[in-house]
Amino acid sequence: MSKILIITYSYDKTVDYIMKKFNHKADFFRFNVDLFSEYKVTISAVNWEIAHGNDTISKDTTTSIYYRKPAFPDTSEFEIEYRRMINSDILAIIYGLSQQLFQLLYGIQVQKQEN
């Protein structure tokens, strides 16, 4: 079954509303970035999969991505010099997943723009 990947954070009430309102029309997978450690992210050369509890989503089952407003997890338990690296790695994973899906759906490569 095809799913919509929603990249957000756990306190996003708008996503709560959207998922409740449209749950009969679409199958959603919510990826709360602030709870990153609760998810299992598997990436290979040809596919990716995110699992949370009994729910999974992969490149092959994703029809679209809604990048809402993710928030980074609390990294205060780590030394300060590692916090930026952890957040950069999380962003790289999210960017890689979305770029791979975009290439699959549209056959073109997404270019990251610097502000």
Task: Please give the residue range of the domain that contains residue 24.
Answer: 3-106
* pLDDT tens digits, 7-21: 899 999 999 999 999
More confident residue, 34 or 75: 34
Q: Is residue 113 part of a domain?
A: no
Q: Is residue 114 part of a domain?
A: no
Model pLDDT, residue 71: 74
Cα 3 to Cα 23, 47, 80, distances in angstroms? 11, 15, 37
Q: Is residue 100 part of a domain?
A: yes
Q: Is residue 41 part of a domain?
A: yes
pTM for this model (two decimals): 0.72
What values do phi and psi take at 2, rounded to 5? -80, 145
Model pLDDT, residue 1: 67
Per the structure, how many domains does the chain have?
Answer: 1
More confident residue, 2 or 109: 2
Q: Is residue 115 part of a domain?
A: no
* pLDDT tens digits, 56-101: 999 889 888 888 877 777 888 888 888 888 888 888 877 777 777 6
